[in-house]
Amino acid sequence: MAVLMRRFVLALATLAAVSAPAYAASLSGVQVGDIFCAGRLSGDMAPVEAILTDEFKATIAEAQARNDAIQKATPDEKPPLGDGIPWQTHPDYAPRCSVVGMTGTAEHPQVVLFYQFPDSSGANWSDKVETTFVNGVLRINDVIYADGTRLTEALVNAFKE
């Protein structure tokens, strides 16, 4: 029941972010991180996609279109994004994701996320969600992996031969 309530609250926050500028301005970096973690834990990134910058959405859409074309041309082979968009450093499902801090700059605040495996602390890692302000509203601009590379880079590199 707690999971359903959390999803409901996050869905309301996302709806506020995309539909009412007065509410969107109050969406904090921590709230953005909470929405991102909820998406990763639930496997439903729709609320996250609602708060991406237009440029980031376009980059993802282009990669998905290229992936779909490859899949159509070679249906018996796994396409570059056969496991989906690599939203986090490791493809493994981490049962815990939490916001542990903020870093970055005033123009590009970064939400620090901690992915945790309670039974195997050596497998834990942290990623950052880079945000930016679009018309005074905080939006996700990229994901910075634990090694410093970025999701936008990974989407381009996935199609290099």
Measured CA to CA, the distance from residue 64 to residue 56 in angstroms comes to 12
Measured CA to CA, the distance from residue 116 to residue 114 in angstroms comes to 6
Token couple for 104? 């970055």
The predicted structure's pLDDT at residue 25: 52
Beta bridge partners of 127: 113
Q: Is the pLDDT of residue 40 over 50?
A: yes
Q: Could you tell me what percent of the chain has a pLDDT over 90?
A: 78
Measured CA to CA, the distance from residue 3 to residue 87 in angstroms comes to 21
Number of domains in the chain: 1
- Domain with residue 52: its CATH number is 3.10.450
- Predicted TM-score of the model (pTM): 0.83
The predicted structure's pLDDT at residue 27: 87
The residue range of the domain holding 153 is: 2-157
Q: How confident is the model at residue 21 (pLDDT cuts 50, 70, 90)?
A: very low
